[in-house]
Amino acid sequence: GAVVSQHPSRVICKSGTSVKIECRSLDFQATTMFWYRQFPKKSLMLMATSNEGSKATYEQGVEKDKFLINHASLTLSTLTVTSAHPEDSSFYICSASQGAGRGQPQHFGDGTRLSIL
Amino acid sequence: AQSVSQHNHHVILSEAASLELGCNYSYGGTVNLFWYVQYPGQHLQLLLKYFSGDPLVKGIKGFEAEFIKSKFSFNLRKPSVQWSDTAEYFCAVRKGNTPLVFGKGTRLSVIA
């Protein structure tokens, strides 16, 4: 149980285009979803936390207009990288939780490798 | 700033060798501690976690970790590694209701 599906797994696109990444909880309701970014040889950096039906909370230094997060349902959150540039190339990972409480585990998707040419 | 440190970037071991991966955190107060593993091409999986109680935590696949509060450490151990343990290992810390904060990860390569 507790499967999180992330799509696409890999995307290559030209500079200036927008890219949407989907994160779905397949067998549970995810009231809270998290988006992380992983640079080579670096840790996973939290970008934002989203609760279903409300605006995402972005971490310091993350541009909310650049990385649009929508969490419209209990099973789906999307991250849209708008007007992507080569420096946005990275590995993006979502995770989902049934709540933000202490005992609620975070379940991770497989990640999306984004390459901007 | 609060942080999680994993001091070993890449560890190379022969099969049957013992493993210890270090993890230190800088948070004060009560924290929850986790170790995740990411096998090549797969998603992050929870190995083990500590919330309270016995500071020696047993996880899956023969892994264990010891929480030493005085040292702000949560080191991961395995007595005898196998080739299939080759993966990236991440230590993570959670304080209260905040999201997980990860260390930079340690790549483990086990050679025959």
Contact between A60 and A90 under an 8 Å Cβ cutoff? The reply is no
Give CA–CA dist B24/B8, Å, rounded: 11
Using a 10 angstrom Cβ sphere, with 0-12 exposed, 13-18 middle and 19 or more buried, the burial of residue B46 is middle
At residue A43, does pLDDT exceed 80? no
Residue A1 pLDDT level (bands cut at 50, 70, 90): low
B-chain residues within 8 Å CB-CB of A46?
99-101
Alpha helices in B9-62 (DSSP H): none
Q: Write out the E strands in chain B.
A: 4-5, 10-14, 19-21, 24-25, 32-38, 44-50, 56-58, 64-68, 73-78, 87-94, 101-102, 106-111
Give CA–CA dist A116/A103, Å, rounded: 38
Interface touch A42/B44, C-beta < 8 Å: no
Give CA–CA dist A85/A60, Å, rounded: 20
**pLDDT in 10s for each residue of chain B, 112 residues:** 678 999 889 999 999 999 999 999 998 888 889 999 988 877 788 899 998 899 999 999 999 999 999 999 999 999 999 999 999 999 999 887 678 889 989 999 999 8
Higher-pLDDT residue of B95 and A101 is: B95
Query: Identity (one letter) of the amino acid at A8?
Result: P
Tokens of A55: 């605006």
Considering only residues 42 to 71 of chain B, which have any Cβ-Cβ distance to chain A shorter than 8 Å? 42-46, 49, 51
Interface touch B99/A49, C-beta < 8 Å: yes
Give CA–CA dist B80/B63, Å, rounded: 10
Stretch A25-48: mean pLDDT, rounded? 87
